[in-house]
Chains A and B, each alone.
Chain A
Amino acid sequence: MKIERISAVWCPSCLLMRSLWEKIEKDYPEFTFIDYDVDFDEEIVETRSIGKILPVCIFYKDGKEINRIVGEKKEKELRDLLEEYRRML
């Protein structure tokens, strides 16, 4: 399963979420995490139709998007979601 995280260096919410992801991602080695920056990975980000709020997190299963979350989230919310997807693997 692949998880794409789209953020920006100038976005405080992205910075907060980045440190949160850093804390929890080591507990989920079965997932592949990929980071994109809206300014420095412009071409890829443009194909994701991210809307007007950052950060955006897109979940893919078998190459297909199954979910996306937008904005700041709490650690429990992220963990619950990852646990749910872990069971699907």
Chain B
Amino acid sequence: MKKGIKILCFLFLFLWIPFVKAEEKIDLYLFYGDGCPHCASEKEFLSTLETKYEELEIHLYEVWYDEENQNLLDTVKDAFQVTEGGVPFTVIGKNYFIGYNENIGYQIENVLKNRENLDENVVQNILNDPNHYQTAPPQEEIPTETPTETPSKEKEDLVKVPILGEINPKTVSLPLLGAIIGFVDGFNPCAMWILLLLISMLLGMKNRKRMWILGFTFLGTSALVYLLFMVSWLQVAMKIQQIMIVRNIIALVALLAGGINLIKFYKEKKNGEGCDLVDKKKRKKMIQKIKKFTTEKSFFLAMIGIITLAVSVNLVELACSAGLPLLYTQVLAMNDLSTASYAFNIFLYILFFLLDDVIVFTIAMTSLKMTGFSKKYGNLSHLIGGIIMVILGLLLLFKPELIMFNF
């Protein structure tokens, strides 16, 4: 009899366990934005997972147009102590994923397969009580290890480049784009005439050390103005990039600026290569300003003068060439990067932007003779800059996922 009861209990357990297993649902919370291409890809991926894992229950929260959902996402991120922005943002139990790509898809499935860290439903806890994690955030227990298969996946992404060896296009795309756009932007003739005017007047100075210091102060301040502009725009762009209409406006501005650059290229090609005669009043004013500090006896006052000049000149000249830095900063904002990566990419842009100026200045200071690049390079910058602007503008409008390199 006892044996019979034992067998019955065993059979009951045997039949009951899988039944219970099937009942254990797994909640997946997807915070997404309407119109976000990576969110659309993840949704597609999740729908395949839904058929594969019956226990999976997907909860969708649109955050770009729904303030309540955005607030919920903010609370969830706070609980995980996540400061980076962006969607899609996926939460399963105590696991969270920012962005979406094949690798993240693999990690999500891995969590479902292995049922890792599902003992606590963070989002449900917050839905029940928004203050639930104010004292004890759950992020410490979240696995951040990369799945074992990842290296081979990353290996697949590598591309062999002569000299450089194997590189991952995803990691080099943004810096490469920054270097190219920065370099093209540097050839913009708007600011070059002022640098040459400054060099010509510095060459008249007797103190060579002072010449170098004043020249590099001008270039350094120009870089700083650019840096401030790009960082400020990045802050704005990161806040408003979720609004589709803003992105579309920037895309249209890029298309317009690109078109203007291409027309300029065509006109200059037709008229022949030469310098546009800068307005007489503007020239006189600039000459007077530069003369003032190159003849200034006090080094301190001369420094103040050149810094003021560089700030005012670059603020005005930014209007002439803002299209490219604006566009590049927008592309950066669309890629969720770490603060260090943002800083690195902006630094690289400015470095290449200043490259031609530094070359012209250094040659002039060492040879005490002025040199200039042919106007055809300036004109070429209109062509390349115009093409880049048009391409990025079109991508922003129709295929934004193609410029989200890091997802």
CB–CB A13/B277 < 8 A: no
B200 CB-CB contact with A under 8 Å: yes
Contacts of A16 in B (CB 8 A): 372-374
A39 CB-CB contact with B under 8 Å: yes
Q: A15-B371, A16-B372, A72-B374 are in contact. Are A10 and B196 (CB under 8 A)?
A: yes
Give the CA-CA distance A70 to B275 in the complex, in Å: 10
- Please report which residues of chain B, range 172-215, place their CB below 8 angstroms from some CB of chain A when the two chains form the complex: 189, 192-194, 196-197, 200
Give the CA-CA distance A15 to B372 in the complex, in Å: 6
Contacts of A54 in B (CB 8 A): 274-277
Give the CA-CA distance A25 to B160 in the complex, in Å: 51
CB–CB B196/A15 < 8 A: yes
Size band of the B side of the interface?
20 to 34
CB–CB A70/B193 < 8 A: no
A38 CB-CB contact with B under 8 Å: yes
Contacts of B13 in A (CB 8 A): none
Residues 359-397 of B, flagged 1 when their CB comes within 8 A of A and 0 if not, give: 000000000001111111010000000000000000000
Give the CA-CA distance A51 to B272 in the complex, in Å: 13
Contacts of B200 in A (CB 8 A): 9-10
Distance to closest chain B CB from A56 (angstroms):
9
CB–CB A13/B370 < 8 A: no
Which A residue's beta carbon lies closest to that of B189?
A12
Distance to closest chain B CB from A48 (angstroms):
12
> Which interface residue of B192, B196, B378 has the most chain A CB atoms within 10 A?
B196
Distance to closest chain A CB from B377 (angstroms):
9
Contacts of B284 in A (CB 8 A): 39
Contacts of A53 in B (CB 8 A): 271-272, 274-277
Contacts of B274 in A (CB 8 A): 11, 13, 53-55, 70-72
B109 CB-CB contact with A under 8 Å: no
Contacts of B189 in A (CB 8 A): 12
B54 CB-CB contact with A under 8 Å: no
Give the CA-CA distance A13 to B375 in the complex, in Å: 6
CB–CB A10/B193 < 8 A: yes
> Which interface residue of A15, A19, A39, A54 has the most chain B CB atoms within 10 A?
A15
Which A residue's beta carbon lies closest to that of B278?
A10
CB–CB B371/A72 < 8 A: no
A52 CB-CB contact with B under 8 Å: yes
- Please report which residues of chain B, range 243-297, place their CB below 8 angstroms from some CB of chain A when the two chains form the complex: 271-278, 283-284, 287
Give the CA-CA distance A39 to B193 in the complex, in Å: 13
Contacts of A12 in B (CB 8 A): 189, 192, 196, 275, 372-375, 378
Distance to closest chain A CB from B154 (angstroms):
45
Contacts of B372 in A (CB 8 A): 11-16
CB–CB A13/B374 < 8 A: yes
Contacts of B277 in A (CB 8 A): 8, 38, 50-54
CB–CB A39/B287 < 8 A: yes
Q: A38-B277, A50-B277, A72-B374 are in contact. Are A9 and B271 (CB under 8 A)?
A: no
Give the CA-CA distance A14 to B189 in the complex, in Å: 14
Binding site for B on A (CB under 8 A): 8-16, 19, 38-39, 50-55, 70-72
